[in-house]
Structure 1
Amino acid sequence: MMGQLEEIIIRKVLNEGPVNFASFMELALYHPEYGYYTKPGKKIGRQGDFYTSVHVSHLFGQALARQLIQMGSFLGWEGLALVEYGAGEGFLAKDILESFAKERPELQGGVTYYICERSHYMREEQRSLLQPFLSQVRWIDDLAAVNGGKPVKGIVFSNELIDAFPVHRVKLVDGELKEIYVDYRDGELVEILGPLSHPQLAEYFPFLGFQLEEGQEAEINLRALDWLSHIGRYLFCGFVLTVDYGYEVRELAHPLRRAGTVMCYRQHRADAEPLKDVGLKDITSHVNFSALMKYGEQYGFKTTGFTNQMKFLAGLGVGKALEDPDLSPWEKQRMALALKELLMPDRMGERFRVLIQQKGLDEIPDLLGLKGFSVM
């Protein structure tokens, strides 16, 4: 049975012609009424469609809070903004704010925690969960709103945000880069090839020093570049900390990535059919961290460091939680299993990467999450 969102997309295609995949993905995930992320319903956790590190254990948020505290001490707390983009149901914000209250109680009321969230449904979920901290939390549409359009000193961070940005998909055919569009034919949505819809698509891989192979498909996340450019426009001093699953551009040469990285998740099952069950499942693609680093330089950022989640959390001493003498054997076992999920290379430890970028700083600080690991 065809859903309402699929009908909307089909009408759009019939009236306006094929749409590029980025436009399709925007509607599938963020349509005001029927988009996957904007409509009510459990998305994350056991009853949802996928897990994040935040839902595996409070240890992730507690470790991240330690990194934010070190960054804040380096920048100076006066006038500092903490800005989380895409806060989901608010569990990471809750873990961070609870850690701040425990580790730095003197900051209570002195630092505002901003949440940039486009989904009104998610905002209500976050408000409900963050009731004890509402005096410290503000919801905004973008970084420009933090200081009335004036420059901001702050720390901008996100966990599994960019992988859900709509992406353009391209394919090299007979030596020419083509874009993948969504059309409606013979009673169903189908993919077709067409000309590039944006001039920046042709410049993207040459700028990164990478050449697609004949027949290879790949994603280009222009929304991520717009997002980082926007942050660079308003952040005059501070850090951008990005946690997500992804790769460096050279890893695109791997045979497993020849068809791209777009994946869908529903009820903890994965598939590679984004045109099916539109609006009922998450659609993601791996983050190209090389693009964030190299384009970031154009927006005024320097790369502080780039590592994987295992090394990042280990540098922040996440395993020390097991040394708590008050833990019962059951609690210790449960914590050990959570740490295994967060840290092991075959779980989240290697698949998730951490990129820290800085702006307006004369030196590269020795951050705990990068301790002992080289800066790229």
Structure 2
Amino acid sequence: MEKRPAVLVLADGTVFKGNAVGKIGTTTGEIAFNTGMTGYQEVFTDPSYHRQILVMTTSHIGNYGVHEDEIESESIKISGLVTKKFSPNFSRPAAFDSLQNYMERDKVVGISDIDTRALVRHIRNAGAMNAIISSENLDVDSLKEELKKVPSMDGLELSSEVSCTTPYTMGDENAEVKVALLDLGVKKNIARCLAERGCYVKIFPMNSSVEDMMAFNPDGFMLSNGPGDPSAMPETVELVKQIVNTGIPAFGICLGHQVLALSQGLQTEKMHNGHRGINHPIKNLITGKGEITSQNHGFVVSHESVEANPEVELTHIHLNDNTVAGIRLKNKKVFSVQYHPEASAGPHDSRYLFDEFVENMTAVKV
């Protein structure tokens, strides 16, 4: 593949020069980094990464191509890719295409051949910020001006841009347990994990009403992951409050965890640079056991607000920084976690949470 120059400019003026990958063009977004060693296709198609430029800390990306079954949504959701080494060729027999062609298909702009270690160290110190990649305009000054127009992720509602528009189902319609899943930017594997446990899942758009969801006669509610700032979603927070008040068991993941917390009067806050990768250590405070988990979030539930609410129990903490990683309501069968128990690719240490959710639904149903 003939190399074409590209440039990456950060909001603080830092510049990296490299070579173009994917579509030739210009893209913007909040820059973030992922520390996972595998699963780049699942990461790139995760709706939670919508409007983010993603730095992969693994040196080689693209070497095993792409596979039609390894997706979390129907298209790439990252707004741009940054990597050290990019392989336009692939060697896995099961792959159906190259990552290069996949990115071109979904019009994703990227840059390679830059020092990603230096970039990640800079982001870790300076914190999350917007960035711009261009392989069609190499004039840094004009790119800086264009970058000034990009809104901050803080205060940005993005779920409406990735949520489904009409309901759909997954699993056996004759299953004894039915789950109404609120799609805030859901990963396909969340619904798969429920279907694998004998649940019939109906996925609802984020603008659904509690009456719409109750008409399905669910035994439980799933609150999905998704992108953006949870505090910019007052209608969704109110909907989740109504869902909790039904008394039906509920389980929230990532953004679903955050809007659940907000619905109970807790607070969320923007993180310095977020947690993204498949190697994050979590401690379950109920069992005392540790878990290696998959994570992808730039906001977190305030620790102080959890401690100040007598109706909410802290169940999991992140061992790197002691941030809130899980909560449950003391008077209802409602719980949530900040990380991804459906991880794919990633560790399966936390899949037991789906079993607990099914047990909660079954217990109430009986």
User: How high is the TM-score relative to the length of structure 2?
Assistant: 0.30
| Structure holding more strand per residue | 2
User: How high is the TM-score relative to the length of structure 1?
Assistant: 0.30
| Structure holding more helix per residue | 1
